Amino acid sequence: MLGRMGTAGLLVIALTACGGGGGAAPTGGKAAPPAQTTPAQSPSQDPVERALSKLRVEEKVGQLFMPVLYGTAADTVSGENQARYGAQTPAKVIAKYHLGGVILFPHNVKGVDQVVGLTNGLQRASKEVPLLVGTDQENGLVSRMSALMTDFPGASQIGATKDPDLSRAVAKATGAELRALGVNLDFAPVADVNVNPSNPVIGPRAFGDDPGRVATMVAAAVKGFGDAKVAATAKHFPGHGDTDVDSHTGLPVIKHTKAEWEKIDAPPFKAAIEAGVDAVMSAHIVFPKLDPSGDPATLSKPILTGLLRQKLGFTGVISTDALNMAGVRKKYDDGEIAVRAVLAGADLLLMPNDLPKAYQAVLAAVKSGRISQQRLNESVTRLLTLKQANGLLTKAPAASAEEAAGVLRSAEHRKLAAQVNRAAH
């Protein structure tokens, strides 16, 4: 997600997040393909296929959504939840919409025991399938869990070290701390190449302005998150590095030619895919040379399906950037945005501006045939496969506050942060 963290009003922060797989089963990330069927193993024995077969269409649609919820515990009564979702507590919102995931923000974070209790409570509230619990922990400028976690340097400082081993080590340590808190998906690393000094929203969040170095650092970070068994998300596809417009407040236009995209923007995403990245986040940017329709990449089938899936061969989860951002809401209403994102190739619908409207619109599109059952099943299968790859389907996840206390801000992690800071100068 593109995000700038101010101190005035957590609601504003929560509503401007931006981090933040074709075919029925992904192989492009840690997510493994479904097990091969043999005479001794029927398809029903595969955890992904078994989980999919148990879901009603309403539950399948719910798997696509990852909103922000309000409260520091699963049973916290919040007027914000009631106003936005028609249910008072996070647990009731999860149950009402059969959510596939939840994203955490600073207003959800008060302490280690509290966050562990929150994530465990959210998981208990998800009766059908365990949740993806995500956050934007890029380190540096965008660090939603900074109140509890090691203060690692951001991507630009890591890039300045020119050492991919440090990129991998920081991602592994970040992933370990997130997993200890019950977070299993990070909307990181940033794979944008920051070639525009006037860029208001990427800047030091990128590993640098050299496509080759950024690609190397991104690939290493993806492997580091994999070491920690936390899903990684490369963002913001097809590349948000050359813009002077913030997609939270406007709709940027990238004027690169196809050849320039291949040379500048594509290498880090290619490297992330080769490294096994679990998810790729779309950007709310118009890229006329890749799709002349004027629609942002999030709603573009030529970009998400044509480029990302077919040309680059990515078979993992495609996540939208936050759907409440101005960059994606210029042309269509909140229901139509969600439907068009799915039709474009997205699997995970992040932070819709109006969840009830978006959920009902996607459900109606499935029932009318505008979104085919096959298309819905492809997305749900990719999401379930990601969950299975991170151990969420075979055993319901449960974090431990005692274990977290030994991992968060450990001496080893603080030493690593200091090492990166020294190497960057």
At 15 the pLDDT is: 35
240 is catalytic: no
Q: Tell me the C-alpha distance between 32 and 116, whole Å.
A: 28
> For the residues 117-143, what does the mean pLDDT come to?
96
321 is catalytic: yes
Identity of residue 53: S
At 330 the pLDDT is: 87
Confidence of residue 327 (pLDDT cuts 50, 70, 90): confident
- What are the backbone dihedrals phi and psi of residue 41, each rounded to the nearest 5 degrees, phi first? -140, 115
> Strands 101-103 and 279-282: what pairing?
unpaired
Q: Closest Cα to residue 346, out of 372, 375, 386, 388?
A: 375
Confidence of residue 417 (pLDDT cuts 50, 70, 90): very high
At 359 the pLDDT is: 98
Q: State pLDDT tens for residues 137-193.
A: 999 999 999 999 999 999 999 999 999 999 999 999 999 999 999 999 999 999 999
Catalytic residue among 295, 321, 347, 354: 321
Task: State the chain's mean pLDDT as an integer.
Answer: 89
> Would you list the DSSP string of 327-362?
GGSSSS-HHHHHHHHHHHT--BEES-SSHHHHHHHH
Q: Please determine, for residue 80, whether its predicted confidence score (pLDDT) is greater than 80.
A: yes
Q: Please determine, for residue 32, whether its predicted confidence score (pLDDT) is greater than 70.
A: no
Within 184-287, strands assigned E span 185-186, 231-237, 279-282
Confidence of residue 10 (pLDDT cuts 50, 70, 90): very low
Q: Tell me the C-alpha distance between 406 and 411, whole Å.
A: 10
Q: How far is CA 84 from CA 78, 81, 321, 323, 329, in A?
A: 10, 5, 19, 15, 18
Judged by average pLDDT, the poorest of 54-58, 217-221, 242-246, 350-354 is 242-246
**Running DSSP on this structure, what letter comes out for residue 190?**
B
Q: Please determine, for residue 326, whether its predicted confidence score (pLDDT) is greater than 90.
A: no
Residue 189 near residue 222 (C-beta atoms within 8 A): yes
Q: How far is CA 146 from the centre of its chain?
A: 18
Distance linking the first and last C-alpha atoms of the chain:
28
> For the residues 71-89, what does the mean pLDDT come to?
97
Q: Please determine, for residue 16, whether its predicted confidence score (pLDDT) is greater than 90.
A: no
Q: Tell me the C-alpha distance between 13 and 248, whole Å.
A: 11
Which SS3 state, helix, strand or coil, does residue 77 take?
coil
Q: Please determine, for residue 19, whether its predicted confidence score (pLDDT) is greater than 60.
A: no
Q: Please determine, for residue 37, whether its predicted confidence score (pLDDT) is greater than 50.
A: no
> For the residues 104-120, what does the mean pLDDT come to?
98
Q: Dmax of the chain from CA atoms?
A: 61
At 200 the pLDDT is: 64
Within 100-176, strands assigned E span 101-103, 132-135, 137-139, 142-143
Q: State pLDDT tens for residues 266-280.
A: 999 999 999 999 999
Domains, the chain, ranges and CATH?
A: 41-423 (3.20.20.300)
Q: Please determine, for residue 118, whether its predicted confidence score (pLDDT) is greater than 50.
A: yes
Catalytic residue among 107, 236, 240, 248: 248
